[in-house]
Amino acid sequence: MAQLYNRVALIGLGLIAGSMAHAMKRAGLAGEIVGYSRSAETRDVAREIGLCDRVVDNMLDAVDGADLVMLCVPVGAMGAVAAEIAPALMPGALVSDVGSTKGAVIEAVTPHMPAGVHFIPAHPLAGTEQSGPRSGFAELFDNRWCLLTPLEGTDPEVLSRYKSLWEQMGSNVDEMDAPHHDLVLAVTSHTPHLIAYTMVGVADDLQRVTDSEVVKYSAAGFRDFTRIAASDPTMWRDVFLANKEATLEILGRFTEELFALQRAIRTGDGEHLHDYFTHTRAIRRGIIEAGQDIDVPNFGRNAK
């Protein structure tokens, strides 16, 4: 493994940026890592834990002389950040992002990119329910997929080097176009998150079942939903607003199926239910065989 970039600027210092800092250090991929966050508190924490080589108080200082600039902010903030850093970008620099939606980010960032600056959107499919500068760790990307959605005319050498960065941070890398990315993620991530948030909200809101009952008896299945529904609210607000069309499409399919199952319950159609529930077991098997989850009951957790 060898250094791939002289200076990497991390704009935003949350879970993904923090994990990138750790993973780049682990493999010696960056000459210098410079970090910036809008929040003074986050910058202080990042300095305290030595997350980056330098943490700066000004976004333009972070970008100065960087040959890789990573936009690690919520999707809704990408356009404003791109506009602000544009004048300070070094010719030949690569700008990338780690946003969970790609169509909206491309639309927001591309118009601000100066000639001679490269832009390759990226989305590492990795995360936890935690957030903030302390939540990152070097192993986050290990054997997880990172999806790149390169634009037409992307320089193959710039792309190849960037792909190598993600691989050396532990990821498998795939390429696809932005609309397909947004549809796939609506299925594997965005709609599941919305549903989990909804279910947890409903449980919290019922008058006839108390909060303490929900908490005590959560191990019956509900606690899995609460993990997802503990994710960063700002990030997820922006995801749904940015991937509106695909999310609404998958939600439409979801409610259609849910109503069919609801009808089967109401009419006592046990065969429909049994067939549906049998069908869904195979996918779990596929995920375990693909190494994307562990084959241990209850995810191997042992709560005391």
Site map for its own copies, 25-64, x if CB under 8 A? ----------------------------------------
Nearer to its own copies, 60 or 195 (CB): 195
Q: According to CB under 8 A, which residues from 93 to 122 bind its own copies? A: 100
Nearer to its own copies, 56 or 199 (CB): 199
Work out how close the CB of 33 gets to its own copies at its nearest, in angstroms, rounded to a whole number.
Answer: 22
Cα–Cα distance, 42 to 140 (Å, whole number): 20
- Is residue 189 close enough to count as binding its own copies by CB under 8 A? yes
Residue type, 193: H
Neighbours of 192 (CB within 10 A): 15
Cα–Cα distance, 99 to 262 (Å, whole number): 35
Work out how close the CB of 278 gets to its own copies at its nearest, in angstroms, rounded to a whole number.
Answer: 5
Work out how close the CB of 262 gets to its own copies at its nearest, in angstroms, rounded to a whole number.
Answer: 6
- Is residue 173 close enough to count as binding its own copies by CB under 8 A? no
Cα–Cα distance, 9 to 17 (Å, whole number): 10
- Which neighbouring-strand residues pair with 46? none
- Which residue in 234, 184, 211, 221 sits closest to 77, CA to CA? 234
- Is residue 255 close enough to count as binding its own copies by CB under 8 A? yes
In 3-state terms the chain splits into helix, strand, coil percentages (rounded to 5) of 55, 15, 30
- Is residue 207 close enough to count as binding its own copies by CB under 8 A? no
Nearer to its own copies, 166 or 225 (CB): 225
